[in-house]
């Protein structure tokens, strides 16, 4: 696509990366994730991922994509204000990168795409004529081969996403390699908002189209958590945008920048703290909802086992089979004890996950507060 192909570097064994197509859905994110996870040795399809994190056909939350990959034993980190040199450093290590862009380009069949879009970076090259660097990627909207665009085009499209996103990308890896710590600076609020909206829609899907009794009750709690997360993180996102706007207006203006930019940094920090806190609250509520749903399902399995066990026991008794009767009673008792034990385990696991999410939220909030103060002090004293 508009490049003169030269020397190229690809992911190791890049042939293992499939070409999946999102079809008529908005599933560019989950389709990209399915390609990435399959390459890393954890085969998934878009539909399998959608059934867990995207029950309705809406844009996919980056946090949900990374959490899903982690739940399957992979590493995942997100990086705002990313650099293409960083993405290039991931490729030789076998670490695919998914970028979110405001797409504006064409395909080999002369069709075009515009709007928010996820793609998977699988390699890079240097134009043989003009020396410009270009990206090689799998586009879930084009499943017949690689796509090629100059990295400068990706930078522009990555900066046009809005809401604090600047060249944001996610890197994925197995535990055989190491990923640098993630960086959500400037988008804590909007990430929480996106995850909250997803929890609302997934909760409604679990309520209106439950796959189990426990799933119905999980959906109710998930919906409530999503509302809290969306509202709280949404306020944080708006505050962050305001703080970034304040800093941007005076950027590069002598003296005035030193006086005003620190205020913008602090405003941005307040929004980041709100985003982290309410994101954590939403995750805690969702964890408890998942635990409740699983516990109800386990108790249900235990009760079903009791009915079957008692039925078998009395059927044996009526036939004069005393040993069968005793065995059926034992099976019934074992079923309910197993159900109770599993339910207790689900509750304890849910509490553990909730505590972990709460601790992470507090830690992130403290880190954001310290970062905001540090940036404000740095901006105040720079350039005098």
To 5 degrees, how large is the angle CA 278–CA 282–CA 285? 135
Task: Report the C-alpha gap between 221 and 261 in whole angstroms.
Answer: 41
| CATH classification at residue 136 | 3.90.70.10
> Quick one: 154 and 236 in the same domain?
no
- The conformational region for residue 175 under phi > 0 = left, psi -120 to 50 = alpha, else beta, is alpha
How many of the other CB atoms lie within 10 Å of CB of 1? Answer: 15
Which residues fall within 8 angstroms of residue 225, CB to CB, at 6 or more apart? 196, 199, 203, 281, 282, 283, 284, 285, 286, 289
Residue 383: the pLDDT is 60
Q: Which helix (DSSP H) or strand (DSSP E) does residue 210 occupy?
A: none
Q: Are residues 206 and 103 in the same domain?
A: no
Could you tell me if 143 and 229 lie in one domain? no
153 belongs to a structural domain: yes
Same domain, 151 and 218: no
Alpha helices for 147-255 (secondary structure H) = 151-159, 188-208, 213-250
Residue with tokens 């670490």: 95
Shared domain for 154 and 210, answered yes or no, is no
Residue 167's SS3 state is coil
Are 241 and 367 members of one domain? yes
Contacts of 249 (CB under 8 A, 6+ apart): 260
Positions of E strands within the chain? 8-10, 75-79, 97-106, 112-126, 133-139, 142-150, 169-173
Which of 140, 173, 206 terminates a domain? The answer is 173
Residue 267 placed within a domain: yes
Domain that holds residue 49: 8-173
- 286 and 310 in a single domain? The answer is yes
Shared domain for 164 and 249, answered yes or no, is no
Alpha carbons 234 and 257: distance in angstroms, whole number = 27
Asked if 137 and 10 touch (Cβ cutoff 8 Å), the reply is: no
The domain boundary residue, chosen from 110, 145, 173: 173
- Predicted confidence at residue 353, as pLDDT, reads 85
How far CA 17 is from CA of 40, 86, 259, in Å, comes to 8, 21, 50
Q: Are residues 228 and 370 in the same domain?
A: yes
Using CA atoms, how far apart are residues 260 and 253, in angstroms rounded to an integer? 10
Question: Minimal CA–CA distance to 225: which of 290, 316, 140?
Answer: 290
Phi, psi for 208 (deg, rounded to 5): -85, -25
Q: Taking Cα atoms as reference points, which of 343, 350, 233 lies closest to residue 289? A: 350
CA distance 24 to 26: 7
Residue pair 269/364 in contact by the 8 Å Cβ criterion: no
Low-confidence ranges of the chain (pLDDT < 50): none
Dist. CA 361–CA 347, nearest whole Å:
21
In-domain check, residue 44: yes
Which residue do the tokens 């929480």 mark? 192
For residue 162, being part of any structural domain is answered with yes
For residue 384, the model assigns a pLDDT of 61
Give the count of domains, the chain.
Answer: 2
List Cα–Cα distances, 62 to 58, 117, 165, 224, 226, in angstroms.
Answer: 12, 12, 12, 21, 16
Report how far apart, in Å, the C-alpha atoms of 353 and of each of 166, 280, 291 are.
31, 11, 9
Choose the final residue of a domain: 127, 144, 173.
173
Signed CA dihedral, 107, 117, 7, 39: sign only: negative
pLDDT tens digit sequence for 3-35: 889 899 999 999 999 999 999 899 999 999 999
In a domain, 3, yes or no: no
- The reply to whether 63 and 122 lie within a common domain is yes
Residues 100 and 166 in one domain: yes
pLDDT for the residue numbered 266: 94
Could you tell me if residue 180 is inside a domain?
A: no
Residues counted in the chain: 384
Q: Which DSSP string corresponds to 15-47?
A: GGS-----TTSSTHHHHHHHHHHHHTT----HH
Work out the mean pLDDT of the chain and round it to a whole number.
91
Q: Is residue 22 part of a domain?
A: yes
Q: Is 77 left (phi over 0), alpha (psi -120 to 50) or beta?
A: beta
Whether 1 is in a domain gets the answer no
Contact 196, 230 (CB under 8 A): yes
57 and 195 belong to one structural domain: no
């Amino acid at each position: 696509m508009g490049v003169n192909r030269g020397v190229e570097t690809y992911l190791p064994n890049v042939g293992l990366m499939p070409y999946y197509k999102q079809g008529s859905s908005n599933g560019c994110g989950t389709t990209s994730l399915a390609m990435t996870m399959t390459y890393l040795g954890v085969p998934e399809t878009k539909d399998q991922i959608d059934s867990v994190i995207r029950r309705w056909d809406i844009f996919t939350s980056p946090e949900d994509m990374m959490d899903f990959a982690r739940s399957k034993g992979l590493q995942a980190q997100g990086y705002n204000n990313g650099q293409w040199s960083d993405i290039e450093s991931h490729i030789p290590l076998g670490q695919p990168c998914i970028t979110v862009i405001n797409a504006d380009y064409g395909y080999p069949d002369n069709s075009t795409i515009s709007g928010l879009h996820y793609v998977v970076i699988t390699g890079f090259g240097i134009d043989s004529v003009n020396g410009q660097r270009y990206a090689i990627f799998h586009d879930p909207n084009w499943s017949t081969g690689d796509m090629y665009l100059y990295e400068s085009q990706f930078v522009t499209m990555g900066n046009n996403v809005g809401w604090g996103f600047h060249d944001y990308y996610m890197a994925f890896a197995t535990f055989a390699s190491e990923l640098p710590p993630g960086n959500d600076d400037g988008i804590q609020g909007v990430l929480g908002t996106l995850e909250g909206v997803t929890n609302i829609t997934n909760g409604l899907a679990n309520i209106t189209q439950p796959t189990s009794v426990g799933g119905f009750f999980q959906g109710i709690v998930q919906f409530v958590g999503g509302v809290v997360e969306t509202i709280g993180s949404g306020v944080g996102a708006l505050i962050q945008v305001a703080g970034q706007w304040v800093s941007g207006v005076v950027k590069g203006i002598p003296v005035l920048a030193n006086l005003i930019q620190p205020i913008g940094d602090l405003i941005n920090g307040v929004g980041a703290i709100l985003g982290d806190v309410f994101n954590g609250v939403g995750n805690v509520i969702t964890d408890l909802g998942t635990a409740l749903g699983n516990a109800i399902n386990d108790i249900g399995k235990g009760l079903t086992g009791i009915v079957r066990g008692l039925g078998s026991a009395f059927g044996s008794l009526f036939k004069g089979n005393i040993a069968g009767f005793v065995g059926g009673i034992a099976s019934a008792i074992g079923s309910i004890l197993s159900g109770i034990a599993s339910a207790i385990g689900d509750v304890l696991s849910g509490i553990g996950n909730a505590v972990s999410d709460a601790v992470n939220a507090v830690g992130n909030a403290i880190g954001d507060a310290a970062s905001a103060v540090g940036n404000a002090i740095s901006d105040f004293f720079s350039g005098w």
